[in-house]
Amino acid sequence: MGFAVLALSACHLASAETPPLGIVFYSPAERASIVAHRSGIVEEEIVTTSYYTIAGFVKREGEKSVAWVNGRPIAEKPQMEGAPSIRVTRDGVLIDGKPAKVGETLDATSGERSSALPPDAVKVHK
């Protein structure tokens, strides 16, 4: 009995000193926006360019993957009009058939990729 009271009071003290966690999940409005973009309901004007910066991607089954390209979510299917053709792979994104990874900018005309990291920022030790 004494142990249970001690454990409860310790939990109460820890929770009193710990600041609230805050919002961990998206708000209902943010979630609705994500779902609308993923399903292709939202039609945003796509700026035509040959440079694409990959900020991230989510790989899902059933062609429901999405990639953040130039700050906008682009669904793998259905393709938005004016958006580049994308395919999300396990390792990155194919834009018009050319590979790019998160943090890279792809020049779709030449196929050249550049990283946001300065040269020699990552060193591999074997």
Split into its structural domains, the chain has a count of 1
Residue 104 within a domain:
yes
Domain membership of residue 32 as a residue range: 26-115
Query: Does 21 reside within a domain?
Result: no
Query: Quick check: is 122 in a domain?
Result: no
Percent of the chain, pLDDT > 90? 14
CA distances from residue 71 to 2, 7, 30, 57 in whole angstroms, order as listed: 56, 48, 15, 11
Q: Which residues in the chain land under pLDDT 50?
A: 2-9
* Residue 80 falls inside a structural domain: yes
In-domain check, residue 9: no
pTM above 0.85, yes or no: no
Evaluate whether residue 121 is within a structural domain. Answer: no
Q: Is residue 123 one of the residues assigned to a domain?
A: no
Distance CA 49, CA 109 (A): 10
Residue 66 included in any domain = yes
pLDDT of residue 64: 81
Confidence at residue 100, expressed as pLDDT on a 0 to 100 scale? 93
Token readout for 76 is 């793998």
